[in-house]
Structure formats: structure tokens, C-alpha cells
């Protein structure tokens, strides 16, 4: 299901604006950067897959 089909109060971008980044999961934050998913996957689903594949965001922070 596309994020645009979700109730507004559950959408990551709207939650970010209303409640701040601290309430979002890593997958939701990454989904905001990705902006779009792929056929059959929302941006949040794709973000979860990427985080699982690469072991989360902590590995990225080590490279900075």
C-alpha cells in the first residue's frame, strides 16, 4: 500500500512535522529521504529492506 493511502497521522513526513524526528523509526526517517518506493513496496517497506540488508544505520555512521 502506498504511503499516500495511509491515514495522515500515520505518514512519516506528517509525523516528522507534527511530532519531531525522535518519534520516527530509522526506517521511517530513511523513507523520507528516499521519497518513493518501488513497485509493490512503499518507501517504508523499501527502507526496512535496506536497513536489514546493510545492518542498520550504525554502520554508515562509522564511515563518516
Could you tell me if 30 and 50 are in contact, meaning their C-beta atoms sit under 8 angstroms apart?
A: yes
Query: How confident is the model at residue 45, as a pLDDT?
Result: 96
End-to-end CA distance of the chain: 34
pLDDT at 57: 75
Could you report the per-residue pLDDT of 2-54, keeping only the tens digit for each?
A: 888 888 889 999 999 999 999 999 999 999 999 999 999 999 999 999 999 98
Q: Which three cell numbers stand for residue 33?
A: 529521504
Report whether pLDDT(59) > 70. no
Amino acid at each position: 500500500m502506498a504511503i499516500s493511502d495511509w491515514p495522515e497521522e500515520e505518514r512519516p513526513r506528517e509525523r516528522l512535522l507534527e511530532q519531531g524526528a525522535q518519534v520516527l523509526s530509522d526506517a521511517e526517517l530513511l523513507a523520507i529521504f528516499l521519497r518513493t518506493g518501488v513497485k509493490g513496496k512503499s518507501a517504508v517497506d523499501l527502507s526496512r529492506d535496506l536497513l536489514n540488508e546493510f545492518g542498520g544505520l550504525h554502520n554508515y555512521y562509522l564511515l563518516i
